[in-house]
Amino acid sequence: MTRTRASARAAGTRFERQIADALAQALDDDRIDRRVKTGAKDRGDVAGVRAHGQRVVIETKNCARLDLPAWTREAHLEAGNDDALVGIVIHKRHGNGDPLDQWVTMTVADLVALLTGQPLEDRP
């Protein structure tokens, strides 16, 4: 079966919902939910995730081909739109349906921000 634009969108929406629900349950935080699209000033796909009291933007991708540089740029742009600590990408691990077994991609600077609570550029 060929993937159409509509089927790709539906798969993306389902993946966003699965990730949001899994994170809400795993983190015991009912504020985490799938975010409504906001157009040019998009702020990520999952809302309500926090680290060190600051927002974390999550961009989800359910694609057959990886494009990590573009996805990471998108997550960073959306983190800026949301005034978030960091933007990360959660992408589909094909052949594995468990939402908690999906891949997470970020830069090392993003990892440092998550671990310290400070964007790398703000560190001494």
Q: Report which DSSP code applies to 95.
A: T
Angle at 57 (CA atoms; ends 25, 101), nearest 5 degrees: 45
> Mean of the pLDDT values across residues 72-97?
96
Mapping DSSP to helix (H, G, I), strand (E, B) and coil, where does residue 34 land?
strand
What pLDDT digit, counting tens, does each position of 54-82 carry? 999 999 999 989 999 999 999 999 999 99
Band (2; pLDDT cuts 50, 70, 90): confident
pTM, full prediction = 0.91
User: Please, which residues have CB within 8 angstroms of residue 55's CB and are 6 or more apart in sequence?
Assistant: 49, 79, 82, 83, 84, 85
pLDDT of 1 reads 62
CATH number of 5-122: 3.40.1350
C-beta separation of 45 from 18 below 8 A: no
What's the per-residue H, E or C state across 40-53?
A: HHCCCCEECCEECC
